[in-house]
Structure 1
């Protein structure tokens, strides 16, 4: 349940990051994301990726996919609560993909 002061439209935005092969023992990459609703953190996660990525680019894409799935779930959950008619704006997920672009 969410307590939002001020009414109006809800703005959901996310941030995600990935670290390629952050654990040298099992070659797994790390994914993390945080979601904010009207500027307040409502969800976050940091965990090893289930799939072993072969490159930084692949690790970034896996992390983006995980964050996108969470964004869809969060938006649907908020709409089903019926507190507001809907979230009209698309959910923006900010990504740090400099490593993926460099390759």
Structure 2
């Protein structure tokens, strides 16, 4: 909320990735799931109007963004 990280955690991943791109992609997916859960939680509590519950994520790895767009990158 207010453009700041709401959840911060450091855990051992349950999978082994082959590259930094895969690590960042998996991490981004987990962060997205957490953000969606948090948005639903806040909506259910009626704390914030639903119009202000947009999720914005910033990425610093262009490979992690491009990876799902490439059909040959999926195993």
TM over 0.5: yes
Q: Following TM superposition, by how much is the alpha carbon of 1:56 offset from its aligned partner in structure 2, in angstroms?
A: 1.3
More strand by share: 1
In structure 1, C-alpha distance between the alignment counterparts of 2:20 and 2:13, rounded to whole Å: 12
Aligned counterpart in structure 1 of residue 43 of structure 2, from 62, 75, 79:
79
In structure 2, C-alpha distance between the alignment counterparts of 1:41 and 1:53, rounded to whole Å: 25
Residue ranges of structure 1 left out of the alignment (5+ in a row): 1-36
Does residue 57 (structure 1) correspond to residue 25 (structure 2)? The answer is: no
Q: How large is the RMSD of aligned CA atoms in angstroms?
A: 2.2
Q: Identify the residue that residue 96 of structure 1 maps to in structure 2.
A: 60
Residue ranges of structure 2 left out of the alignment (5+ in a row): 66-75
More helix by share: 2
Contact 1:71 1:91 in 2 (8 A): yes
Q: When the two structures are aligned, how many residues end up with a matched partner?
A: 65
Q: TM-score, normalised by structure 1?
A: 0.52
Q: TM-score, normalised by structure 2?
A: 0.68
Contact 1:75 1:87 in 2 (8 A): no
Q: Which runs of 4+ in 1 moved over 4 A?
A: 98-101
Deviating more after overlay: 42-51 vs 70-79:
42-51
Q: Identify the residue that residue 30 of structure 2 maps to in structure 1.
A: 66
